[in-house]
Each structure stands twice: as C-alpha cells, then as structure tokens.
Amino acid sequence: METKRLANPRARSHPSLILCISLSLQEISNAYEVLSDDQKRSIYDRFGEAGLKGGAGGFGGGGMGGAGQGDFTNPFDIFEQFFGGGMGGGGGMGGGMGGQPRRRGPAPGTDERHDLTIDFADAVFGCSKEVEVSRLESCGTCSGSGVKAGTSPSRCGQCGGSGQVVQAVRTPLGAFQQVMACPACEGAGETSAPCASCAGDGRLRKSKRISLRVPPGVDGGSRLRVRGEGSAGRRGGPPGDLYVFVRVRPSPAGLRREGTTVHSDVDVSYVDAILGTSVQVETVDGPVDLRVPAGTQPGTTLVMAKRGVPRLGAAPAARGDHQVHVRVTIPTKVSEEEKGLVEALREAQAAAATAKGGKGWFGR
C-alpha cells in the first residue's frame, strides 16, 4: 500500500512520523506503538525498520499496552502532537484537522467571467471598451444583511449560536466526533425572517457597465483581471474579481501574429525578383513601401524592424518586427513577344556562362 507523506517541515525532522501516514489501520497501530515508546522511536530514527526488527522486536512485539512512556490515548494523538488540533476521541475534527467550533462569518464574493472580442489593431495598440457584466450586488432593501426590514436575527436554537453541530462517527478505531456546519442556520449561528427582495441571500443579480482598458500587446487567450468587480460577498464579505477573456478577430489585411512578430506575404513577378522592385506592404501602422532587392529568391524573408506588436507591459517603443515573406510568381502562359525576350535572355546568359566556364541562370 502506498504511503502518503505530509508536506510539513516539522515532519521532515521526524523520520518516524512517516510511519503514521498510511491507509492501513494495522500500520497506524504499529506506528503508534513505535512512536509512543521513546526507545523504539529513537531506534527507528537512527536505523529504520531494520533496527526495530533486529533489536527492538519489530512492529507489534509489545502490543498496544507498551505505550506507557507516552501520553497518547490513541494513534491519532500523534498527529495532534506534531501538527496541532485534535483528530480523535473527544477532540473533534472541526476546521480540517481539529480546532474549535467557529461561527461562520462574512463570505467573500465569487469571481465573474466576461468574454471580450476585439479587432486585430485593438489588440496591437490597446483600446478602451465598455463591457456589460452580470453579477450579484448587495440588496438595497436589507443592505446586504438578508434580514426582513423591521426584524432582527435571533440565536439559532439548534446550535446555540455556535454555527456548528457535533456528529458522532464510528470507526474501527472507536467513536469520533465530527464538527460540521449547522444545517438550520447554515453556519451563521443566527436565524431570521428573510428579506422579501433577495429571499434572505442579501444579494441580487444585476447588470453593470464597466469601463475596461485593454493594454497594448494583448493576444487571443489573454486574461485581464479587474479587482473588486465580481459578485458581492455575503454578510458584508469582500467582492470577487472580474476576469475578462480576450478573443482577437483575424486581420482583414491578412496579417498574422506570433508573439510580438507580425507576418505577411507579398507576391512579385519573376522579372521583378530578378531586377528588383518596390512594393507596398500593409502593416499595423498602415501601408509602407518596401524595397525588394534585385536577385531576390522565392521564399526570401524581408524584415521591417519595429513594425510589429508592442511588448506587453513594456515601453511603447519596445516593439517586435514585421517579417515579409516573398513569393515569386511565374506565369503559366506568355505571349510570343515575352517568350522571345526570355529566350534572348537565356541565350545571353548561356553565352556569358560559357565565357566564364560555368552555367547561366537557366541552367545552360
């Protein structure tokens, strides 16, 4: 059976404590026997289980009656000594691992989500948006108390105002007490006539328009957090937060984005690729003239520095680049005049290559 170890710094200084973290009741009893005996515990810490088998009689040798040197009354008292709280017998299990019954106080509000779709340019340079969100707000009739106007809360008769009740649970190790929230008052410790407007919850769901600033450089899947704009808490608890999930529409100009880098394609004829040309490229800043150098090969990437996306959270001047991918177009049909010119060019290149002892552009 797999042993589960607690990620507690106090546990690291007591190797023998690891024996207690097990799903087997028999192993818990064995571990209790060792930990309740100072001599056996010292042997285990120094030599491990082998030391107990060799010199201390192993587990189960002395039975449960050998716990005379310890102050434990059951195996779960070991956890109480190292971690605090009370897990067994009359200690109860309230508050996780023991602890005293406590009355439920103000509860924080829940977080709310809103999906926002923006244009490609707005994601690049940022924008301001008005978003309408639905959330729980404090009831104006009862001021968030949930109590009917003209009445006041009274102490819960089932839990006596503590907000918690004790339930007995029987286990193979004996009877234990489990502390749970009072079902009559839901842990509040008080009962009251509910407000007619909010049915006693103290909150009503309403819509609100919120001004939101989208920073430059956000991308699809980004999440913006607006503190305190979530649902109101119960009984005066703090409000939750609003999380805005951003979606970005595709660029109408065919721009693509990878982080802070913008990509686009440009088509040039084979003649322009050979001789060089100037083309107009659409960027996030608008149309820009780009020089395509002579002899540009198909698939060449030309870089326009700092024409990309601003880095999120950085200075406005910190921008990525715009990479232009050149696609050379070759016609499938040419006129007789064009064909004659190309053939003449091929013959000229072949002659030049022969004079140099090599090959021309057209492979001859």
323 and 347 share one domain: no
Within this chain, do residues 261 and 244 fall inside the same structural domain, yes or no?
no
> From the centroid of its chain, how far is CA 356?
66
Q: Which two tokens stand for residue 113?
A: 């989500």
Tokens of 29: 């009893």
Is 98 a domain residue? no
Do 153 and 237 lie in a common domain?
A: yes
Domain end, chosen from 83, 100, 126, is at 83
Secondary structure (DSSP) of 287-333: EEEEEE-TTPPTT-EEEETT-SPBPTTS-TT-B--EEEEEEEE--S-
Residue 203 domain flag: yes
Domain boundary among 67, 83, 99: 83
pLDDT for res 296: 95
| Whether residue 298 sits in one domain with residue 236 | no
Q: pLDDT tens digits, residue range 9-26?
A: 444 444 444 444 444 456
Residue 99 domain-assigned (yes or no): no
What is the pLDDT tens value at each position of the chain, 364 positions in all? Answer: 443 444 444 444 444 444 444 444 566 666 667 666 777 767 766 666 666 665 444 444 444 344 444 444 444 444 444 444 444 444 444 444 444 445 566 789 999 999 999 999 999 999 999 999 999 999 999 999 889 988 988 999 888 888 888 888 777 677 777 888 888 888 888 888 999 999 989 999 999 999 999 999 999 999 999 999 999 998 889 999 999 999 999 999 999 999 999 999 999 999 999 999 999 999 999 999 999 999 999 999 999 999 999 998 888 778 999 999 999 999 988 899 989 988 998 898 888 888 877 555 555 4
Same domain membership, residue 50 and residue 33: yes
* 100 within a domain of the structure (yes/no): no
Is residue 62 one of the residues assigned to a domain?
yes
Judgement on whether residues 162 and 239 belong to the same structural domain of the protein: yes
In a domain, 4, yes or no: no
Q: What share of the chain is helix, strand, coil (3-state, %, to 5)?
A: 20, 30, 50
Single out the residue in 68, 83, 98 at which a domain terminates: 83
pLDDT for position 28 = 63
Looking at the chain, how many residues does it have? 364
Please give the radius of gyration of the chain, using alpha carbons only, rounded to the nearest integer: 38
Q: What is the pTM of this model?
A: 0.61
- Please check whether residues 345 and 293 belong to one and the same domain: no
Any domain includes 91: no
E strands along 85-219, which residues?
112-118, 127-138, 154-155, 164-171, 174-181, 190-191, 203-214
Q: Are residues 154 and 240 located together in one domain of the fold?
A: yes
Give the CATH number for residue 278: 2.60.260.20
Closest CA to 242 of 320, 104, 131: 131
What per-residue confidence (pLDDT) applies to 162? Answer: 86
In a domain, 104, yes or no: no
Indicate the number of domains in the chain: 4
Query: In this structure, are 117 and 243 located in the same domain?
Result: yes
Could you list the residue range(s) of the whole structural domain that residue 363 is in? 338-364
The two three-digit tokens of residue 245, written as one number: 């999930």
Verify that 263 and 320 share a domain, yes or no. yes
The one-letter amino acid code at 336 reads E
160 and 219 both lie in a single domain: yes
Count helices and strands in the chain by DSSP H and E runs: 8, 15
**197 and 130 in one domain?**
yes
